Amino acid sequence: MNHAIIEDEFKAVDFDVNQEMMPFILTLFNSPAYIIWPVDGLGISALIVMAVSIIFGNWHWREYQRDLKERQWFLFGILLTLAPFTALFLGFRLPSWGAIPLPDMSLAATGGILMILAALPAVISAWILGPISASLIGLISGVCLAYWNTHSPFTIIEFTAFSMLLSVAIRQRYRTAVFSILRRPFLATLLIACVHYLLYICGAFFWASGSIVENLDFAISNSRAGVIALAGSFALAGLVTEFALVALPRVDGIKHKLRPSPSESSIKVRFLNYIVSLTLVLVLVLLLVNWFVAGRSAEKMIQSQMENVARTTTNKIPFFFNTGQSLISQYASDLSGGMSTPEDLDLVLKRSFRAIPFFSQLFVFDSNHELIGAYPDQVLPDTSFTTEFQSGLGSALNGVPVQVYVSPPSEIGHKSVITFLGSIPTSEFLPSYPSATSRVIMTANPSMAPIVAISVFFSSWDSGISSSTTTYIMAPAAKARA
């Protein structure tokens, strides 16, 4: 590219999470294995209370646990052995969906990972063996996912509680329509996912160690990926178990007949069930509506601010290039005058550099591409110029008046460099440089670094210079012509 003309045109872009890729993951063993335990007393207390609640739940629903005989013990051993492998192999990485990192932790926010077979041993155990067996197998799977995936101890609680509740739902023998639906593994996983959503919010809130607002923001922003990752694996396992239940209806070993539900045996209980259910539904709908409205408002506000920043940044780019091209042409004209000694060249470069604080470095080359002058640094680094710039020197020697090049950062943390080249008209120079009949001046200017830094926030938007400089300078929906 010789030079770029930026048209001032801005176009808002709507972010579509459906376009985000979900890469396949063969195993989680490549991920670091650790658990971040809650550091404050409230988080530790919440973890203990949840663990005790699971133990109490297994004791309360112990009647649904099947008496294990030789075949059942063999099946339990197989499922227990398969649990780590199904939890750590074959999955998809979900998009982050606006998730924020854990407060006060130097960890990047990542989307959840849906392990396809993670819940299959726990669901089969919940169907055939009972809640205690399902909780133990869910405990093993939850530990694996917590160490290699979420790094949260509350993942163990969520997986174990989901397994226990699913087993109770499948093995209960109440005869009303709602309980009949709960006996279907796939439908039960979908209904229990609603309870898991609330459990996930509580767990993530107490896991974070920031303020109340920070913890709540972290929990809500990560809930979408977290719930889909865990509930999705249970839904897939429930779907497989649903087909197995149709093929093998007696394998669960349940011989009890259907019995009246609590709402059928007491008018008071039925009234309380209706009131509590209606209240929970209304509260849940209110929370979801408020969350959706507040989220959309916040998204629009942030997008509007980003658009303003991008528009302001884009408007500065044409002035930058116009100023640089004008200055480089002026400096080239100044250097075409008579200079009898190298000190005269240094004096002209010094005066031009200090007159307008625009460039960061000035260089002068002769017709052999040899450096004959520089200011303020006199030494030319080996990695200063790209192959594109070297070809630009030849173009300048052939009479191209002004050229502009963009050089990418050589390392992470370095700045991009905008290079202006101007052709110096032929004139007599020094006797010691008889071949310097045509000269080129190059200026490396990293003053566009703020624009490049701002453009990181718009990395999913259109480039603003050309396809060859997309990585270096970006401006939302700005068009370039060579």
- Mind spelling out the 3-state secondary structure of 138-182? HHHHHHHHHHHHHCCCHHHHHHHHHHHHHHHHHHCCECCHHHHHH
Rounded (10°) angle between helices 185-207 and 41-60: 150
CA distance 208 to 215: 5
Burial 299-320, CB ≥16 within 10 A → b, else e: eeeeeeebbeebbebbeebeeb
Q: How far is 188 from 181, CA to CA, in rounded Å?
A: 7
Could you give the residue range(s) of every CATH 3.30.450.20 domain in the chain? Answer: 315-481
| pLDDT for position 479 | 31
Place of tokens 């405990």: 139
* C-alpha dist (Å) from residue 138 to 59, 124, 212, 235: 16, 11, 30, 15
CB-CB contact of 172 with 192 (8 Å): no
Q: What is the pLDDT of residue 161?
A: 92
User: What's the N-to-C CA distance of the chain in angstroms?
Assistant: 6
Q: What is the pLDDT of residue 413?
A: 56
CATH architecture of the domain formed by 31-265: Orthogonal Bundle (1.10)
Nearest in space to 42 (alpha carbons), one of 33, 53, 50, 34: 50
The residues, any chain, with a CB within 8 Å of residue 153's CB and separated by 6 or more, are 35, 36, 37, 38, 47, 146, 207
Cβ partners under 8 Å of residue 349, min gap 6: 362, 364, 373, 374, 375
- Give me the sheet containing 439-445, strands edge to edge: 371-375, 362-365, 439-445, 417-424, 402-407
Q: Where in the chain is the domain with CATH 1.10.1760.20?
A: 31-265
Tell me the CB-side half-sphere exposure of residue 460, using CA atoms within 13 A.
Answer: 11
Retrieve residue 84's tokens: 């780590």
Q: Can you tell me the distance from the alpha carbon of 328 to that of 336, in angstroms, rounded to the nearest whole number?
A: 12
Q: What is the pTM of this model?
A: 0.60
Tokens of 394: 């030849």
What is the reported pLDDT for 120? 93
480's enclosing H/E stretch is strand 479-481
pLDDT for res 137: 94
435 three-class SS: coil
Protein fold of 315-481 = Beta-Lactamase (3.30.450)
CB neighbours of 170 closer than 8 A, spacing ≥ 6?
Answer: 126, 127, 182, 183, 184, 185, 188, 252
Question: In sequence order, what are the beta bridge partners of 441?
Answer: 364, 422
CA distance 447 to 320: 9
Q: Give the pLDDT of the chain (482 residues) as one tens digit per residue.
A: 333 333 333 343 444 444 456 788 888 888 888 888 988 888 899 999 999 999 999 999 998 888 888 888 999 999 999 999 999 999 988 887 777 888 777 666 666 889 999 999 999 999 899 999 999 999 999 999 999 988 889 999 999 999 999 999 998 888 888 888 888 889 988 888 888 888 888 888 898 888 888 888 888 888 888 888 898 899 999 999 988 888 887 887 777 778 877 777 777 777 887 888 788 788 878 877 877 787 778 778 888 888 888 888 777 778 878 888 888 888 877 777 666 677 777 888 888 878 877 777 788 877 777 777 777 766 665 555 667 777 877 887 777 888 887 777 666 556 667 788 888 776 544 333 332 333 344 344 444 444 444 433 333 333 333 222 222 222 223 333 33
Task: Quote the tokens at residue 295.
Answer: 């989220």
